[in-house]
Structure 1
């Protein structure tokens, strides 16, 4: 009887410990997750200018070219603009810090979560020679975690899509998304009477409307974190009344967390 009681107590303690570890792992936003990474087969060191996030040529050089495509982390475009610390796990080649990349595209290869630019893939290494060895491997084991995006001296900026047609259709992509929260909704408001309409996420980080409000336009962006907290951010600067396709507009705000 005593041994049975001891066994039950030990089993109960083991289950409680396992539940605690699982709960901590499930809620640990700073914990590393194990996966695999490849790199773009192009000889270009930077990312692609045709990424699914809609950044165009800007997406190839964003963050100095340390960018990546992702599979599940793309999240139907919500993951565009998010930053991740990615480090490979081979002690012979890989540095402790790895590289911080920005998500600009959607894709997977060889059961990977990340397809890095060649530049970013090599920057996981300790030395130039180690980088060459990593590139020769092509696919490596990694661990990653979400981190805050930081763009010194840069405000959140919008780029009017080239297909926009004043005043009938407006589309734009959001550049320099900061912090570690997602932009989950965008409203466009008439600056004078604040009549607002919710925009559609048409492609990655591209937001569109077939009937933009008239007059100078005020933007509102909803930032959401993994705990479900949401904050509307209203830029300082408005979009001018006579906006044109291809223009960029500095919102005048930074959102750091």
Structure 2
């Protein structure tokens, strides 16, 4: 089975940091009063503006090169994420559990556009061992799509200090479930998740079964190893998010006629808030 891509970094161009470089630490802002992350919060959990990160970019000016990725979304345009995406360093990626979460970033540098800020979804991983160790733990780094970086600063800058915080994700329509696998092994990609966005647990239920706990395979792909009994049954899902632990049930999300390779949207556009 194909697994998520792990992006690698290229070496810097002479005289400046190369675009696409995975950066690391953060310069404290002099413009805003910023609350630092507390010891009780992990890097990916902060909801107040916090220091300690940098941003670079990768891919083309149209965000080409950002498809695929370690979160399992594949074609991020078809999935509704567009160009508003980022890859995360290890400290933020949380072994893939942060996939789907939304972050707001703002820049504090004379090289940035005054008052600029962006909101992006985590869709990829900036790997350990990248050039210069920019994405190694405990560095906090956002490797943005080209258009998102260009919204904060001229791309010739290459790397900028940013402040960041977790924010609620805004999505169109309901949570979506893409079902792949075979009668003996089922894999469900859960995406288009609003609210906190990062799925931490998932259960599946057939018409004639109880709830079956699913295990995270990679990114936001969740698997059940005993799906033979689920074939030909209407499927419901129960999904819990990470930050705040909000949980919601999506009844009869897939009809009894479902087939592997199909995607289903929650009835009535049901989603998190």
TM-score (norm: length of structure 2): 0.72
Matching of residues 1-257 of structure 1 within 5 Å = 29-42=47-60, 44-46=62-64, 48-58=66-76, 62-71=80-89, 72-108=91-127, 111-112=134-135, 113-125=141-153, 134-152=154-172, 154-161=173-180, 164-165=181-182, 167-180=183-196, 182-193=198-209, 195-212=210-227, 213-214=229-230, 215-225=233-243, 229-252=244-267, 253-256=270-273
Alpha-carbon deviation of 1:95? 3.7
CA contact (8 A) 2:72 2:219 kept: yes
Unaligned runs of 5+ in 2: 1-34, 136-140
Change (3 A) 1:168 1:122: same
Deviations 1:204-236 (A, max 9, x none): 1111122124221111112232xxx53431014
Q: What's the C-alpha RMSD, in Å, of the aligned pairs?
A: 2.6
Alpha-carbon deviation of 1:80? 0.2
User: Aligned residues, how many?
Assistant: 220
- SS of 2:250's partner is coil
When you count helix as a share of all residues, which structure comes out higher? 1
Higher relative contact order (Cα pairs below 8 Å, separated by 6+ residues):
2
- SS of 2:92's partner is helix
CA contact (8 A) 2:205 2:212 kept: yes
Change (3 A) 1:93 1:231: closer
CA contact (8 A) 1:62 1:102 kept: no
- SS of 2:81's partner is helix
In the alignment, the residues of structure 2 paired with residue 86 and residue 46 of structure 1 have an alpha-carbon distance, to the nearest angstrom, of: 21
In the alignment, the residues of structure 2 paired with residue 147 and residue 74 of structure 1 have an alpha-carbon distance, to the nearest angstrom, of: 16
From the CA coordinates, give the structure whose radius of gyration is larger: 1
